[in-house]
Amino acid sequence: MTAGIAVQPIKVVIVDDHHLFREGLGKLLGSETDIAISGSAESVAIAVEQIKNLRPDVVLLGWPASSAGSQKVFQAIQEAKLGTRVIMLVESDTKDDFVEAVRQGCCGIVPKQTSTELLMKSIRKVHAGEFWLDRLTTADIIRRLAKRQGPAPVAQAPQSTRGGIREQGAALSQREREIVALVAQGFKNKEMAERMFISEQTVKNHLHNIFDKLGVSDRLELALYAIHHNLHDA
């Protein structure tokens, strides 16, 4: 760290129905020097007001993604054009709700029973521009999303640790768009090569160029980026 430059803590707002849960989580996270609890809300109205006024970096959202409350939170973030990123705190392993979370613009899914250490890590990773989902959950979400009809809502463009994810689809060729769509649908390099009648090395070269153009770090981030920006059926 460069001497004399103060690093601003990650501003977090906790949204959940249960006071004790919010209070306990706030105390745990507030003890970290790089995380600051800016607000805590149990109702939609308070959550939306705090998000618009406090402009948090991360919202920890404890409501199901399919609930009206969650949808209003995502809507408020998008309408205000905030860079706020949302982590869903989930109680059950309901993949359909996970799919809805990603469609709404969620950048992380964390079980409420997870360890404090992992939760803090997820906040830091999501704030840095990464997605926080385990790979099995991600693969299942991508498969389900790819089968659905209609465009996915576009969330605030996520920022990347590699200098910022570019404007959606920026400078991608038609062939690169095809590869992005196949990655989002779960195809492996060899399978893509066979479908596109090109070599596996050519697929790898295209992926390298796509990562550089979009500013994503790996296939997982590319797949979720594609879903967020409706490139999964290009």
Provide DSSP, 11-70: EEEEE-S-HHHHHHHHHHHHTSTTEEEEEEESSHHHHHHHHHHH--SEEEE-S-TTSHHH
Block residue for tokens 């640790």: 161
Mean pLDDT of 119-148: 78
The pLDDT tens digits for 60-89 are 999 998 899 999 999 999 898 899 999 999
Per residue in 187-223, pLDDT tens? 888 999 999 999 999 999 999 999 998 888 777 778 7
Considering the segment(s) 157-228 as one domain, its CATH architecture is Orthogonal Bundle (1.10)
pLDDT of residue 186: 73
Q: Please say if the pLDDT value at position 28 is more than 70.
A: yes
- The reply to whether 157-228 shares the fold of 10-142 is no
% of residues, the chain, pLDDT over 70: 80
- Look up the pTM and report it: 0.70
In this structure, of 27-41, 103-117, 132-146, 159-173, the range with the lowest mean pLDDT score is 159-173
User: Is pLDDT above 50 for 151?
Assistant: no
CATH class of 10-142: alpha beta
Q: Where are the domains of the chain?
A: 10-142, 157-228
> Does residue 62 contact residue 21 with C-beta atoms inside 8 Å?
yes
- Whole-number pLDDT of residue 161: 37
